Amino acid sequence: MDSFALIIFGITSNLAQTKLIPALYDIAEKDLLPENTVVLGIARSPKEKEQFREEIKKAIKNSRKTKEDVLGKLINSFYYLDGKFDNPEFYNHLDDALSQLQHQGFVCKNRIFYLATYPNLYGEIFKNLQDKNLNNQENGWVRLMIEKPIGEDLKSAQKLNTLLLQYFTEDQIYRIDHYLAKENLQNILTFRFGNGIFEHLMNKDHIDHIQITVAEDKGIGTRGGYYDQAGALKDVGQNHVLQILALTTMDAPKEFSNKAITQERLKVIESLKAFPENIVFGQYEGYLEEGNVSPNSKTNTYFALKTEINNDRFRHVPIYIRAGKNLARNVAEVAIVFKVPENRILKDKTHELVPNILFYRIQPNEGIILKILVKKPGNKIATEPTYMQFCYKQLSTDLSDAYEKVVLDAIGGDQTFFNDAKEVEAQWKFIDAYNSSSHIPFSYKPQSWGPEEANLIIKGDKRMWLEPSIDFCKL
Ligand code: BG6
């Protein structure tokens, strides 16, 4: 991989400190960071280099066990520049700093700009980078990494994408959805398309319904300012949840390439049918007392909805989704519930019509689990349900953090597990149909599975939410 300069706008932001910088350490520890790579952190307050490096050290040490030699070497590649992002003069300093670093032996002709700033500053930043020729690719490559939210609805996302494309080409833009870099989410593709025996079951002839749960056991913490404007549907529904759904249900890509995979994900998202009457919003008790939350806030911290994919493969297969904060457990999981065959010969030997269920456990205890019927040990013919499990812990106890993959892919120029403009817009089009700001959320108890009313979404179809098992892959 090429050496490069990583220029972080907003180095003191929570994301940079807790995700990006520790990911750089992980990459360095695996000896995957190209030599002569430099990290230039930018924030507003003036700071000496040594103080800055101490802070970076602390951020890394707070998040993982470190090896002194790796940390020492990495820290020496961190530099700091203070300035206001909307001040054109600052970009002269940035230009000078990059030239100096280049002189010192670092490679600054290849550049990744990582923006951990408010999106309303993007326009100013891009214009200034362009005016100083800093996004010019004549001598090397230039890439841009940006975090969600990419807009707050379809219209604002389109506006932002138009702005991005004024200064960068699509192949330079890395829109991060870190769920796409999660090990077991990527594994869904391998499981489905690498094996020959499951894929022909993944359609409406065999599947009764699909459930997706993305539950977090913590509240919003210190992120009230952002979260109260967004809510659960926009915070995780528009992005992470839809990507889980897309990888679970997309058609086989023609090849394992960025273009082919992104195209198939997009096709699914564009085919989603929204049922605006089939959504329930919740807000956990105590949310209104959280910092930076409006006292009368109607923001949702939970949602449950039903959708369908309008294509020949999945038409009329219900997909039930629920996600939220302060729920009973921290768990992300897909459950594909298969139809019970009408001619099951052992029907009279089971006390209930147990369906086969395929679980993708995305986190924690990552794995793929299949619920099956087996013969109960003994002299009689009787059946009992049990589980066949593939657990990641059997292969490795040390799964990479998603951000490590996000950064490595950006360094390597691989956009397969990032979103392009069309995909983000298709996601918003679906989410906008639910008009979340016009709903009054039902209240729910912290550490519960959400408001009672959420059961109506699924009970009306004579089905029930499956409680994610605490036993999966607990090796
Ligand atoms: C972020 C959301 O995108 O994803 C957060 O903004 C959420 O609200 C987080 O907590 C969940 O990510 P993970 O990797 O902890 O499941």
Q: Name which of 273, 235, 293, 231 is nearest 440 in CA terms.
A: 231
Check residue 436 and give its pLDDT: 80
Q: What is the largest CA-CA distance in the chain?
A: 85
Question: How far away, in angstroms, is 204 Cα from ligand 1 center?
Answer: 31
2 half-sphere exposure, CB direction, 13 A CA radius: 19
Question: How far away, in angstroms, is 291 Cα from ligand 1 center?
Answer: 18
Number of the ligand 1 atom closest to the C-alpha atom of 177: 3
Question: How far away, in angstroms, is 296 Cα from ligand 1 center?
Answer: 25
Number of the ligand 1 atom closest to the C-alpha atom of 218: 10
Check residue 279 and give its pLDDT: 96
The dihedrals phi and psi of 250, each to the nearest 5 degrees, come to -65, 155
Contact status, residue 149 vs residue 120, Cβ threshold 8 Å: no
Ligand 1 binding pocket includes 246 (Cβ within 6 Å): no
Q: Which of 240, 316, 351, 439 is catalytic?
A: 240
Check residue 54 and give its pLDDT: 97
Tokens matching residue 113: 């700009």
Task: Render each residue's pLDDT in the chain as its tens digit; 475 residues.
Answer: 899 999 999 999 999 999 999 999 999 999 999 999 999 999 999 999 999 999 999 999 999 999 999 999 999 999 999 999 999 999 999 999 999 999 999 999 999 999 999 899 999 999 999 999 999 998 899 999 999 999 999 999 999 999 999 999 999 999 999 999 999 999 999 999 999 999 999 999 999 999 999 999 999 999 999 999 999 999 999 999 999 999 999 999 999 999 999 999 999 999 999 999 999 999 999 999 999 999 999 999 999 999 999 999 999 999 999 999 999 999 999 999 999 887 667 666 665 678 999 999 999 999 999 999 888 899 888 888 999 999 999 998 788 899 999 999 999 999 999 999 999 999 999 999 998 888 999 999 999 999 999 999 999 999 999 999 999 998 7
pTM for this model (two decimals): 0.96
Contact status, residue 472 vs residue 387, Cβ threshold 8 Å: yes
Check residue 349 and give its pLDDT: 66
Check residue 467 and give its pLDDT: 95
Check residue 342 and give its pLDDT: 76
**β-bridge mates for residue 337, sequence order:** 209, 357
What CA–CA distance (Å, rounded) separates 357 from 251? 20
The dihedrals phi and psi of 281, each to the nearest 5 degrees, come to -105, 150
**Can 240 be counted among the known catalytic residues?**
yes
Ligand 1 binding pocket includes 235 (Cβ within 6 Å): yes
Check residue 299 and give its pLDDT: 98
Question: How far away, in angstroms, is 53 Cα from ligand 1 center?
Answer: 27
Which residue from 178, 333, 403 has its CB within 8 A of the most atoms of ligand 1, so it is best to mutate? 178
Nearest CA to ligand 1 atom 14: 179
CB-CB neighbours of 117 under 10 Å: 20
Radius of gyration of the chain (CA): 24
CB-CB neighbours of 44 under 10 Å: 11
Ligand 1 binding pocket includes 409 (Cβ within 6 Å): no
Ligand 1 binding pocket includes 55 (Cβ within 6 Å): no
Question: How far away, in angstroms, is 197 Cα from ligand 1 center?
Answer: 33
Ligand 1 binding pocket includes 264 (Cβ within 6 Å): no
Ligand 1 binding pocket includes 216 (Cβ within 6 Å): yes
